[in-house]
Amino acid sequence: MQATILAAYGLVADECNIQPFGSGLINTTWKVTCGNRAYILQRINHQVFKNPALIAQNIKHIGEHLNLHHPEYFFVEPVQTLDNKGLVITENGEYFRLQPFVPDSVSYDVVMNVELAFEAARQFGQFTRLLSGLDIAAIQMTLPDFHNLTLRYEQFEKAVKNGNPSRIKESAGMIAAIQRYSFITTTFEKIRLDPDFKIRVMHHDTKINNVLFNKSGNGLCVIDLDTVMPGYFISDFGDMMRTYLSPANEEEADFSKITAREEYFKAIVDGYLGELKNELSHTEIRHMIYAGQFMVYMQCIRFLTDYLNDDAYYGAKYEKHNLVRAGNQLTLLDRITEKEGEFFQAVAMHGNSVA
């Protein structure tokens, strides 16, 4: 199977070592080492990304824009096939793409210190800033409604009605808690109508392992560009809050280990605003804490919805996996909400009016 795909790029599978790579839930990733050259091979989940060609098209536009206007930016160009395509489509309709593995780069699965959090936030902020001159109309929606919380909430309500009855019963407490936080959805609906919220090119998956670092800990670039599309800053800043603030990640079943660390919040505010301070409106800056609530809440809803729908989207490694993930995110939402006051102070200390 992989042999045909690699052959499309002029590589000989027998001369390469192919190993599963990374921890993504949606696409499947391998590291392919052929002699002294290494690559990242990915199978795009076609169930999720209905039109993978749009991903290749977006990446091409972004690459061209960066090469032209910001040639100093380290952009990882996808490898083209021998017939000059950005994707390989197999006979059974699977989509693959290849990119070089950046030599001497390091990626992390855990945010081990505040410097890492700062650097990652700087990288994602820089990415949006450098693309601010790009005509947004040229960038396609690779996953329509991906961060549409209103729709996610509707899907949740549907699952509460039509999902697995015993799982619905078992989740009663969690369903009620999600309903109690429904102001987060109401606020999102206001944001969508508010001209102070700008649509920009956002990454939409800002977890730490989507940043490449050099050996001295400096950020090199952001990777995993499948979900790069028009969106709101709350998606990127919020997903950093979701994945950098707590020392325990979304898989943690011991919820007492989940906390929202203020010094990490400060680090991502500094890293992000250092790049985007002049780009974000006052109203947007006032919603920096909301951003975290928005993303954590949405992820909680998505995990619970999936649990009620028998794990159809995320799959499950054990019986109550998605219920545990949802509970984990709900706990994180509580922890962030409790820290609202301190977090506002941190934004204000950056010299921003959050009044």
Binding segment (CB under 6 A) for ligand GN1, from list 21-29, 85-93, 94-102, 171-179: 21-29
The CA distance from 320 to 212, in Å, is 33
CB of 67 to ligand GN1, least distance (A): 26
Q: Which does 81 bind (CB under 5 to 8 A by kind): Mg ion, ligand GN1, none?
A: none
> Is residue 151 a contact point for ligand GN1 (CB under 6 A)?
no
Q: Which does 48 bind (CB under 5 to 8 A by kind): ligand GN1, Mg ion, none?
A: ligand GN1
- Residue 347, H or E segment: helix 340-349
- The residue count for binding Mg ion (CB under 5 A) is 2
CB of 199 to ligand GN1, least distance (A): 19
CB of 48 to ligand GN1, least distance (A): 5
> Is residue 205 a contact point for Mg ion (CB under 5 A)?
yes
CB of 22 to ligand GN1, least distance (A): 9
In order, the DSSP letters of 222-282 are E--GGG-EEE-HHHHHHHHHHHHS-SS-TT-S-GGG----HHHHHHHHHHHHHHHTTTS-H
Binding segment (CB under 6 A) for ligand GN1, from list 24-32, 60-68, 75-83, 160-168: 24-32
CB of 178 to ligand GN1, least distance (A): 17
> Is residue 13 a contact point for ligand GN1 (CB under 6 A)?
no
The CA distance from 250 to 116, in Å, is 19
CA distances from 247 to 86, 195, 237, 344 (A): 37, 36, 17, 21
Interhelix angle for 233-244 vs 321-338, to 10°?
Answer: 100
> Is residue 26 a contact point for ligand GN1 (CB under 6 A)?
yes
Q: Give alpha helix (H) positions in 70-171.
A: 114-130, 149-162, 165-170
Instruction: Look up residue 334 and give its two tokens.
Output: 């509580």
- What residues from 223 to 252 belong to the interface with Mg ion (CB under 5 A)? 224
- The contact pattern for ligand GN1, residues 191-210, with x = CB under 6 A and - = no contact, is --------------x-----
> Is residue 248 a contact point for ligand GN1 (CB under 6 A)?
no
User: In this complex, which beta carbon is closest to Mg ion, that of residue 22 or of residue 230?
Assistant: 22
The CA distance from 338 to 247, in Å, is 17
Longest dimension (CA), the chain: 63
Give 40: exposed, middle or buried? Use CB within 10 Å, 0-12, 13-18, 19+: buried
> Is residue 284 a contact point for Mg ion (CB under 5 A)?
no
Q: Which does 25 bind (CB under 5 to 8 A by kind): ligand GN1, Mg ion, none?
A: ligand GN1
What size, in residues, is the chain? Answer: 355
CB of 149 to ligand GN1, least distance (A): 12
CB of 220 to Mg ion, least distance (A): 18
In order, the DSSP letters of 12-72 are -GGGEEEEE----SSSEEEEEEETTEEEEEEEE-TTT-S-HHHHHHHHHHHHHHHHHH-TT
User: In this complex, which beta carbon is closest to ligand GN1, that of residue 26 or of residue 134?
Assistant: 26
CB of 117 to ligand GN1, least distance (A): 18
User: In this complex, which beta carbon is closest to Mg ion, that of residue 22 or of residue 274?
Assistant: 22
> Is residue 252 a contact point for ligand GN1 (CB under 6 A)?
no
User: In this complex, which beta carbon is closest to Mg ion, that of residue 6 or of residue 143?
Assistant: 143
> Is residue 54 a contact point for ligand GN1 (CB under 6 A)?
no
> Is residue 299 a contact point for ligand GN1 (CB under 6 A)?
yes
User: In this complex, which beta carbon is closest to Mg ion, that of residue 147 or of residue 339?
Assistant: 147
- What letter represents residue 272's amino acid? Y
271 sits in the region (left: phi over 0; alpha: psi -120 to 50; else beta) called alpha
Instruction: Look up residue 108 and give its two tokens.
Output: 């992390």
Residues of the shown chain interacting with ligand GN1 in the complex, contacts defined by CB under 6 A: 24-26, 48, 205, 250, 299
